[in-house]
Structure 1
Amino acid sequence: MESQYKLLIIDDDEETRNIYREFFTDEGFFVDTAADGVEGLEKLLHNEFDVAIVDIKMPKMDGIEMIRQALTNDRVDASMIILTGHGDREEAVQAVNIGVEAWFDKLNLNMAQLLKRVNELAEVIPIETVRQVLTEARR
């Protein structure tokens, strides 16, 4: 049986989390959610995810700070996608500069484009896996 890609959706809006969870579950993903940056960071540190979709504006810890902390931790190797809204494009640019793979405007979100990008990021084989396979093949 083929393994499912693992997706973490971090957004303080419950309705948004539920819509994304249902959409990506229907597309064959294993989906978990978090209601704020603190919970999202904890889940990223203690579980393996292929991709995290992160809202910028959240209570307790905003998306930029959560991503900054996640990407500086060796235990986190999920690709990050940021969701913007409320005219926070400057913050989206800042997010891209710290390692976010893509950003989408929540107000004009095209789910087909988001799905395409999530699939592209999830399908990437980590370099550590490639090295391990090559090492094993040489034996």
Structure 2
Amino acid sequence: MIPLGNVLVVDDEQASFEMYRDVLTPEGYKVEWAADRANALSKLHGSTWDVVVLDQRLSGEAGGDSGIDLVSEIVPTGAKVIVATGYADPAMIDRAFRDGAYDYLEKVPTLPALLRIKVRNAAEAIRERRLAALSAEDREKEIRDLWNAVRTEADHHRKGKLLEDLMVLLFKTVHGFTHVETRRKSRDEEIDIFIRNESSETFWVGEQSQYVIVECKNWSKPVGPSELVVFRDKIVNRGGRCRLGFFVAVGGFTEGFLTRSATFRKDDVLVVPVGPNDLEELVLSKDRNEVLKTLHARAVMSGNGH
């Protein structure tokens, strides 16, 4: 299975590493530390890394800015380099990009939020590249491996990321649902998966839903009606450009969720519940478009909208 994201932090201060680790581990990344140039090069050639967070002022023989000298050595490994700096000197930034750095990160009060975004973007670029290179056979194997990992992963954060990755890959196998983004955030809400509906098929065109959003819950317990209400609000808040959502719950749904769904029968918004058995069917199916239509029809007939 293609890893969620392996991050190497190259920084001579343990406190800095611990801060990066504490921010990134809950996001589902595996984070390791290299305190100096020699250790960094050893780890780089000993494992595969998706992202390297590199301190500009890493101490070394060349002085306090020797970290920047590592950029050109890291880039050929295929990892995305994010240079962390206390002061965004234009000359340093220009050199970093010339040497192949992916981005830079200023050590400002908003660093944790910026770190999450920049590492996520870098890791997703790497993962997209690897997924795009898969053959059809390998892609299907990746889907099955992800589903097995979702069912067995004990860490809550990694399980959530695995589930999102699984759903992204499943939807991308359906024609017209290939433009997918994850974890779209605003000040008051987060959307797990955001899909541009570019299908030319009459069935999906007829939904008159320019976008489709997906909620992923990796809970072991069933999801209740309050979560349904919150998700429907996310759909409604899209300015009329979204009328369709899929609610994916590994632990299934309570009777209250399904009962509450029936109260929306006169609404134009449709929420399609996707439980564990439905996920299994999607993973194993050779025609996921038809499976999604079947789930859609079931939601309509249950009085969940339309």
Write out aligned runs for 1:94-113 (5 A). 94-113=95-114
Matched with 2:18 is 18
- Percent identical: 25
Aligned amino acid, residue 65 of structure 1: D
TM-score between the two structures when normalised by the length of structure 2: 0.39
How far has the Cα of 1:112 moved from its partner? 1.0
- The structure number with the bigger radius of gyration is 2
Matched with 1:66 is 70
Where in structure 2 are there 5+ consecutive unaligned residues? Answer: 140-306
Cα deviation 1:82-139 (Å, max 9, x = unaligned): 01125644212210111111111114543112211111110123646523426978xx
Alpha-carbon separation, structure 1, partners of 2:90 and 2:137? 43
Alpha-carbon separation, structure 1, partners of 2:21 and 2:99? 26
Alpha-carbon separation, structure 1, partners of 2:108 and 2:37? 21
Alpha-carbon separation, structure 2, partners of 1:28 and 1:15? 20
Where in structure 1 are there 5+ consecutive unaligned residues? Answer: none
Q: 1:13 to 1:115 in 2, by over 3 A?
A: same
SS in structure 1 at match of 2:19: helix
Cα deviation 1:47-99 (Å, max 9, x = unaligned): 1111110001112362221111222x4xx111010011256442122101111
Matched with 1:30 is 30
Aligned amino acid, residue 111 of structure 1: P
Cα contact 1:81–1:101 (8 A) shared by 2: yes
SS in structure 2 at match of 1:31: strand
Matched with 1:133 is 135
Alpha-carbon separation, structure 2, partners of 1:116 and 1:90? 24
Matched with 1:5 is 5
Cα contact 1:84–1:103 (8 A) shared by 2: yes
Aligned amino acid, residue 70 of structure 1: I
Cα contact 1:10–1:33 (8 A) shared by 2: yes
Matched with 2:79 is 78
SS in structure 2 at match of 1:123: helix
Cα contact 1:7–1:52 (8 A) shared by 2: yes
Write out aligned runs for 1:41-52 (5 A). 41-52=41-52
TM-score between the two structures when normalised by the length of structure 1: 0.81
Alpha-carbon separation, structure 2, partners of 1:56 and 1:37? 12
